[in-house]
Amino acid sequence: MATSVTQRTSTTDEFLKGLWRDNPVFVQVLGMCPVLAVSNTARNALAMGLATLFVLVMSNTVISLLRRFIPKQVRIATYILVIATFVTVVDYVIQAISLDLYKALGAFISLIVVNCLILGRAEAFASRNTVGRAVADGLGMGIGFAFALLCLGAVREILGSGSLFGVHLFHEGFQDWVVMILPSGGFFTLAGWLLLFNKLEQRKTARARALAEETAR
């Protein structure tokens, strides 16, 4: 009885950790290539986030299922094979959904293959855990990644084009900050978000320390 409870809480925990505490972008700073490159509009960022989420969940599931079947020596090659397959699937599906979106995401769809976040989760988590936990981990990390991309994309689109998801927010007089949709804008925005996250983290540790001192006294 007790074990099943701990099991359940830890599966939920596997899901939740990716969202915030171990957020792949803001905390682990993984997968920077798509984060910086396709976060110029909220729509592109969301699409990229969802594509990565799909690949991450599917590859985590398959790798977790096959973890006893794959010998240690060929594991990386096999993981890449599985990941590349799902990326190809996403590539075709996006072309079928919208050619405009496909054009906007360009080469970055295929580059999901080399997103270290996905291979990292496969190697560090999915290959050592049950399917349920691997799926929870994939979902958590994937949603965390998509959320982070959306945070960047929204800021860059609002400042760079004066719109959000293509809807204009300001009146005619608004002068677009063109730099925000150029690559350098990606770095500026990422720096801003990282600053915020580090600040929050510091405040939390400081508060915990203060609390500990108080109880010690």
Partner 1 sequence: MTGVWPMYRAMVGIGLACGLLIVTVFQLTLPVIERNKAEALQRAIFQVLPGASSSTAFSLDADETFRRQEQPADAARRVYAGYDDQRRLVGLAVEAQGMGYQDVIRVLYGYSFEQDAIIGIRVLESKETPGLGDRIETDPAFLENFVRLDVSLTEDGSRIAQSIEYVKQGRKTEPWQVDGITGATISSKAIANMLSASSAFWIPRIQRRLDDFRTAG
- Given a contact cutoff of 8 angstroms between Cβ atoms, the answer to whether 28 and 44 are in contact is no
**Residues 186, 149 contacting (CB under 8 angstroms):** no
Q: Distance between CA 23 and CA 209 in Å, rounded? A: 23
Which lies closer to partner 1 via its Cβ, residue 132 or residue 162?
A: 162
Q: Give CA 128 to chain center in angstroms.
A: 21
Give the start-end residues of each E strand in the chain.
Answer: 163-164, 167-168
Q: Report d(CA 27, CA 22) in Å as an integer.
A: 6
98 touches partner 1 (CB under 8 A): yes
The correct pick among 77, 195, 200, 210 for binding partner 1 (CB under 8 A) is 77
Pair of tokens at residue 82: 């599985």
**150 close to 45: Cβ distance less than 8 angstroms:** yes
**Residue closer to partner 1, measured from CB, 124 or 178:** 178
Residue 163 is a binding residue for partner 1 (CB under 8 A): no
Q: Which is nearer to partner 1, 9 or 92 (CB)?
A: 92
Which range of residues in 4-12, 95-103, 139-147, 167-175 is near partner 1 by CB under 8 A?
Answer: 95-103
Is residue 164 involved in binding partner 1 (CB under 8 A)? no
Instruction: State how far the Cα of 71 lies from the Cα of 74, in Å rounded to an integer.
Output: 6
From residue 24 to residue 53, what is the string marking binding to partner 1 with x (rule CB under 8 A)? ----------------x-------------
Give CA–CA dist 129/109, Å, rounded: 28
Q: Among the candidate windows 119-127, 143-151, 165-173, 175-183, which touches partner 1 by CB under 8 A?
A: 175-183
Q: Which of 61, 122, 48 is nearest to 87 (CA)?
A: 48
Output the smallest distance, CB 141 to partner 1, in A.
22
Say whether residue 89 binds partner 1 (CB under 8 A).
yes
Angstrom distance (rounded) from CA 159 to CA 180: 7
Calpha distance 182→89 (Å, rounded): 29
Closer to partner 1 by CB, 92 or 170: give it.
Answer: 92
**Binding-site string for partner 1 from residue 104 to residue 143, where x marks contact by CB under 8 A and - marks none:** --x-------------------------------------
Contact residues toward partner 1 (CB under 8 A) are 40, 66, 69-71, 73-74, 77-78, 81-82, 84-85, 88-89, 92-93, 95-96, 98-99, 103, 106, 160-161, 176, 178, 181-182
